[in-house]
């Protein structure tokens, strides 16, 4: 992806904002990259307009080989929220055994999870386990992720939780 950002600060003349230098890229532990943007005192609004062209391809959710710092085996360990219990094991028994690929199985698992834990806000919190969400029959994206992670690990695949990369609704809800 190649973007050509244009920055404009409303209500203040001159340098009311700063943009990191082109080589001044910031990142986090998950290799998310970006450039720093901030405002100077007195700025009432900063508008960022970007234009570009995005080429896409169907990858079935696979982004490529693992390039992170953590070894893949680290994503095979249970956590309190992703511990597989009887409900997650029963969910896996419902999966058809005939899939053309592990990706097809993972997509079918994802669909099965949404049927057993209906998306409903306010029914769980950040301490709800995947097992609890299945017992309640409802949850939100984090609960679906906890169930999926536990199930994929039972199937022998490393899986991890990533959050906060999609703003939904009015822009105040992270997924």
User: Tokens for 135?
Assistant: 């017992």
Higher-pLDDT residue of 37, 96: 96
Q: How confident is the model at residue 67 (pLDDT cuts 50, 70, 90)?
A: confident
> DSSP labels for 25-46?
EEE-TT--EEE-EEE-TT--EE
Q: Residue 154: pLDDT above 60?
A: yes
Query: How far is the C-alpha of 142 from the C-alpha of 164, rounded, in Å?
Result: 10
Q: How confident is the model at residue 18 (pLDDT cuts 50, 70, 90)?
A: very low
Q: Given this model, what pLDDT does residue 53 score?
A: 83
pLDDT tens for each residue of 131-147: 999 999 999 999 999 99
| Nearest CA-CA partner of 90 in 114, 111, 116, 108 | 116
Q: Given this model, what pLDDT does residue 11 score?
A: 46
Query: How far is the C-alpha of 162 from the C-alpha of 141, rounded, in Å?
Result: 11
Contact (CB, 8 A) for 50 and 4: yes
């Amino acid at each position: 992806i190649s973007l050509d950002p244009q920055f404009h600060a409303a209500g203040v003349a001159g340098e009311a904002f700063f943009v990191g230098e082109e080589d001044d890229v910031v990142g986090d532990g998950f290799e998310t990259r970006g450039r720093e943007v901030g405002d100077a005192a007195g700025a009432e609004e900063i508008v960022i307009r970007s234009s570009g062209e995005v080429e896409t391809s169907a990858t079935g959710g696979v982004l490529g080989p693992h390039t992170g710092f953590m070894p893949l085996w680290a994503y095979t360990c249970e956590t309190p929220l992703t511990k597989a219990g009887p409900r997650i094991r029963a969910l896996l028994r419902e999966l058809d055994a005939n899939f053309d690929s592990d990706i097809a199985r993972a997509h079918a698992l994802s669909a099965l999870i949404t049927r057993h834990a209906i998306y409903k806000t306010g029914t769980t919190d950040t301490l709800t386990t995947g097992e609890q969400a299945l017992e309640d029959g409802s949850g939100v994206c984090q609960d679906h992720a906890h169930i999926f992670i536990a199930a994929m690990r039972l199937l022998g695949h490393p899986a991890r939780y990533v959050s906060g990369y999609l703003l939904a609704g009015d822009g105040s809800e992270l997924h």
